[in-house]
Amino acid sequence: MLQELLGAAAAVGSAAVVYLAMAARIVKQYERGVLFRLGRVAGGEREPGLTLVIPFVDRLHKVNMQIVTMPIPAQEGITRDNVTVRVDAVVYFRVVDAASALVKVEDYKFAVSQMAQTSLRSIIGKSDLDDLLSNREKLNEGLELMIDSPAVGWGIQVDRVEIKDVSLPDTMKRSMARQAEADRERRARIINADAEYQASKKLAEAAQQMADTPAALQLRLLQTVMAVSAEKNSTLVLPIPVELLHFLERGAQQPAPIGDGEHPSG
């Protein structure tokens, strides 16, 4: 009798161990469990840790709640200003409702990928080339809104969308390079012209000041001679003031005085 009881206890213990092994499920920290009982969602989400299910009746599906980084394949399109480009991007999203992600869409990752590709092509067609190259923050926000709107119903939250690269045809690259070079040359010419204009104004003011004060011209001449002589040159070129030339010219034009022994001819 005792042996029968021990055998029965051992059988019950073995059955309990087998049952616990079949019923026990481990949900990791970054996961949430969704329990389906006879095909229906039963209860709320299962939190991380040990959870028990009814074998052959319950089915536990685990959903990763981490942020998913999904690259969007390069999409080719024509911008609003008729330029053919290829644009690729990356989407950061995560599941916020595990039950909706399993029930409302067959494959939420595939659905987000297809929605992102469609939205990216739409953004390309609505934007100018300059916007794609220089105004990406605004385009990222618009792209995020286009993807997030339907994804909310799937229990998905889009955290961020980033346009990674914009590929242009080679002809367009060469054209943009020539345009940039021409623009840089134009700015350089404008800067040089402005510098010449400002320098000419300063020189005109200096010339007017020296004309009003002849001593300033002489002082400037002496400074120039001292600066040149300090270079230890063997030849020194001394500039002659224009006023001195005018003085000599006026002296040469005056008639010579008539001496005492000379008389003008009649």
What string of H, E and C letters represents the secondary structure of the chain? Answer: CHHHHHHHHHHHHHHHHHHHHHHEEEECCCEEEEEEECCEECCCCECCEEEECCCCCEEEEEEECCCEEEEEEEEEEECCCCCEEEEEEEEEEEECCHHHHHHCCCCHHHHHHHHHHHHHHHHHHHCCHHHHHHCHHHHHHHHHHHHHHHHHHHCEEEEEEEEEEEECCHHHHHHHHHHHHHHHHHHHHHHHHHHHHHHHHHHHHHHHHHHHCHHHHHHHHHHHHHHHHCCCCCCCCCCCCHHHHHHHHHHHHCCCCCCCCCCCCC
pTM score above 0.75: no
Q: pLDDT of 144-168, one tens digit each?
A: 999 988 898 899 999 999 998 888 8
**What confidence tier does 111 reach under pLDDT thresholds 50, 70, 90?**
very high
What are the pLDDT digits (tens) for 200-237? Answer: 888 888 777 767 776 666 677 677 767 766 666 666 66
Fold topology of 67-168: Tetrahydropterin Synthase; Chain A (3.30.479)
Work out the average pLDDT over 23-31. Answer: 88
